[in-house]
Amino acid sequence: MPATTMEQLVSLCKRRGFVFQSADIYGGLQGVYDYGPLGVELKNNIKAAWWRAMVYERDDVEGLDASLLTLRKVLHYSGHEDTFSDPMQDCKRCKARFRADHVKDGKCPECGSTELTEPRPFNLMFKTHVGPVDDGSSLAYLRPETAQAIFTQFKNVVDSTARKVPFGIAQIGKSFRNEITVRNFIFRLREFEQMELEFFVKPGTDLEWLDKWRDARIKWWVDQGLDPNKIHVKDVPADELAHYSKKTYDLEYEFPIGTEELEGVADRQDYDLGNHTRYQDELALTTKVHKNTDSTAKLAVFDEEAKKWVVPFVVEPSAGVDRAFLAVMTEAYNEEKLPNGETRTVLKLKKHLAPVKVAVIPLKRNNEQIVSLAHQIKADLLKTGIGRVMLEDSGNIGKAYRRHDEIGTPLCITVDFESIEQSPATVTLRNRDTMAQERIAVADLPKYLKEFFL
């Protein structure tokens, strides 16, 4: 099958209710999207898979859910006020505004003119005001990464859990960046979601942990259905590193728009904990930018062997939920030629990611006995804990199969006349990938489905 195109994905996402442009009826808000009835299910399943792998399956990670509104001082000491900017240029002819690194051969990416302004920095953080007075003292930001709250809550988490390094704090949540140019659907957004782990380690062991996390994260992406041959590791060159990082691996994926960043795995050293610490003079910091006169905390741990306070180094795997969504959709999308010459669109999502696990389809929507048995089966299957089971009573079996192939439902159960006439009752079970159908006793369904999904 030829490579999936962005047009195919955008069309499917809108047609089947995965993703809609925000404020669509007013012409849309640029760089902001809403996730529809199936999109929210897929997104939740991606986040649940990440949380399971990063928190539940490990014994060295705790979770956090911090606020989006961020005190200005946090983003001052983190370095974001000074450095979190992209160089921007304007075209004097067509007035387009774009990132300087998007300019090729000195030409405007929109109209090709060479009359461009000099690049100037543009801070990407969204500003707002907290409280009724709109002055400098009330200025706050919407967080540009989830990570900072993990650093500012470091001491509270350590004190409340008695964790010792190496250990991590995981968080999933929204981040906001006023990106200069947004295009390519949900690839680059102004409001997006991140899944971030800040993993605190003993200084000197950071590079070893960086490699371990790079490998663990590649494995996780493959477990979500990505082709390992389409995942590429970029050792980020020194002049492209973020202001806090000494070494970063970008995990890139072959998206329909080209090979682009899916996740960053960065060595943030003691940059963040060190810069949010008041008592910097007592600590041998590697990366000190601002003398901190505002914090009340010492974000360090006591090293019993060395008998001194040490600021842990941080290794950070940071992935975008929206890019994860785009990547798994890209990989799962298939158009298959059937023997009868028709084309079938099928979303071969991994079972644990599928928005709907099972569709229960009554063959005749006006036959009370069939419909009632379908309701009963749905209710019983919900109790198995496999996820969303949907009653699909559109009344047209062919259309129902096509719809569920397109949205990636792994199994369809059809309740027909045989189901209500035979004892014990049986139904047809259809497999999305093979299209094979088998007859199965209703009483055996819970066990079968538990084995299939869990």
Question: What is the CB neighbour count within 10 angstroms for residue 310?
Answer: 16
Q: Is residue 80 near ligand GAP by the rule CB under 6 A?
A: no
Tell me the closest approach of the beta carbon of residue 266 to ligand GAP, in angstroms.
Answer: 6
CB of 91 to ligand GAP, least distance (A): 22
404: contact with ligand GAP by CB under 6 A: no
Q: Which of 261, 303, 380, 418 is in the footprint of ligand GAP by CB under 6 A? A: 261
According to the binding rule CB under 6 A, does residue 322 interact with ligand GAP? yes
The amino acid present at 283, given as its one-letter code, is L
Smallest distance from ligand GAP to CB 295, Å? 20
Q: Which span sits near ligand GAP by CB under 6 A: 69-77, 260-268, 357-365, 370-378? A: 260-268
Residue 93 φ/ψ, nearest 5 degrees: -85, -55
Beta strands in 236-294 (DSSP E): 247-255, 258-269
Residue 270 touching ligand GAP (CB under 6 A)? no
192 binds ligand GAP (CB under 6 A): yes
The nearer residue to ligand GAP, 198 or 416, going by C-beta atoms, is 198
Q: How far apart are the first and last CA of the chain?
A: 30
| Interacting span for ligand GAP (CB under 6 A) from 191-199, 202-210, 339-347, 403-411 | 191-199
Binds ligand GAP (CB under 6 A): choice among 81, 82, 90, 179: 179
| Under 8 Å between Cβ of 311 and 277 | yes
Cα angle 325, 405, 344; round to 5:
110
By the rule CB under 6 A, 329 interacts with ligand GAP: no
Binding segment for ligand GAP (CB under 6 A), chosen from 207-215, 313-321, 370-378, 439-447, is 313-321
Min. distance of Cβ 264 from ligand GAP in angstroms? 4
Rounded-to-integer distance, Cα 142 and Cα 125, Å: 7
Nearest to ligand GAP of 267, 322 (CB atom): 322
Helix (H, G, I), strand (E, B) or coil at 403: helix
Q: Among 169, 283, 301, 319, which residue sits at the site for ligand GAP (rule: CB under 6 A)? A: 319
What phi-psi label fits residue 254: left (phi over 0), alpha (psi between -120 and 50 degrees) or beta?
beta
Encoded one letter per residue, x for contact with ligand GAP by CB under 6 A and - for no contact, window 115-144 reads ------------------------------
Between CA 198 and CA 266 the distance in angstroms is 10
Distance from C-alpha of 396 to C-alpha of 404, rounded to nearest angstrom: 12
DSSP H or E segment with residue 176: strand 167-176
Under the binding rule (CB under 6 A), the answer on residue 381 touching ligand GAP is no
Q: CB 298 → ligand GAP: shortest distance, Å?
A: 23
| Eight-class DSSP state of 26 | G
Q: Contact 194/320 with Cβ under 8 angstroms?
A: yes
Read off the amino acid at residue 138: S
Examine residue 346 and tell whether it contacts ligand GAP (CB under 6 A): no
Question: 146 vs 384, which CB is nearer to ligand GAP?
Answer: 146
252 sits near ligand GAP (criterion: CB under 6 A): no
Q: Does 177 bind ligand GAP (CB under 6 A)?
A: yes
* From candidates 89, 194, 275, 330, binder to ligand GAP by CB under 6 A: 194
Q: Segment contacting ligand GAP (CB under 6 A): 67-75, 91-99, 162-170, 257-265?
A: 257-265
Q: Is 345 helix (H, G, I), strand (E, B) or coil?
A: strand
162 Cβ partners below 8 Å, 6+ apart?
A: none
Residue 252 CA to its chain's centroid (Å)? 14
Least Cα distance to 124 among 91, 165, 83 occurs for: 83
Q: Where on the chain is the footprint of ligand GAP (CB under 6 A)? A: 145, 147, 177, 179, 188-189, 192, 194, 196, 261-264, 316, 318-320, 322-323
